[in-house]
A and B are shown apart, each in its own frame.
Chain A
């Protein structure tokens, strides 16, 4: 599988609810529609919060995986 092009990376490691989501929302505001954000988080709540946030906002969660205690999410901006 070809690696997805990442337009911006957001390091939210060490932060707890709700800051990873708050920072994600702020970062996505700055991106154009179609751009992909890579989010790094260590908050275990983000496993459920990030997909829920994507569902509420209508943005597309491309992948989510755990890498040595860090949760890595790729989110594509679908709408403003």
Chain B
């Protein structure tokens, strides 16, 4: 039928445009990279633990192959002791909501870090935001690959036993092998 349109009537611009659009759509559907997400988690605070976990979990829930590469402080997120390790610091963070306005220097006083961490956990909990533990569980259930960076583990003195069940171990080449096949790559 397409051949007929092209040879008998001559290809009008409209027909050519439609054919090109359909071919592009078909090619996009075959593009495996559109179904892959490779994310780096490099930060080890409670607030920054959320974005990589939320994005990877949602990607997996959307039928994508998702992986997170945990490096440097991001290793905290998949450490067995993540509940205690992930904190927020009000120091140097003017965007951090505080119960009462206070000068920046006060946020550096002892006890302010734990207070801010406690406050943020209560805020998340009060709004029924999933906890980091729940997100890790969902991520693993949906098949998100969690990869810990071996080099930074060695630097920080971690062993493979320090990490939660199911974590894989790898290096930059492992991440790149994933990322070069993924349209969604993010450094968090």
Contact = CB atoms under 8 A, between A and B. Distances in A.
A22 B129 contact: no
28 contacts: A14-B128, A15-B128, A15-B130, A16-B127, A16-B128, A16-B129, A16-B130, A17-B54, A17-B58, A18-B54, A18-B57, A18-B58, A18-B61, A18-B130, A18-B135, A19-B134, A21-B58, A21-B61, A22-B58, A22-B142, A24-B61, A25-B61, A25-B62, A25-B142, A53-B62, A56-B62, A56-B64, A57-B63
Contacts of B129: 16
Q: Which of B58, B60, B61, B64 has the most CB of A within 10 A?
A: B61
Contacts of B128: 14-16
Interface string A1-28: 0000000000000111111011011100
A3 B181 CA distance: 43
Q: Report the contact-size class of chain B (Cβ under 8 Å from the partner).
A: 10 to 19
B152 interface: no
B138 interface: yes
Nearest to B60: A25
Contacts of B127: 16
Given A21-B61, A25-B63, 4 more contacts: A19-B130, A53-B61, A56-B63, A58-B63
B57 A22 contact: yes
Contacts of B62: 21, 25, 53, 56-57
Interface string B44-76: 000000000010011011111000000000000
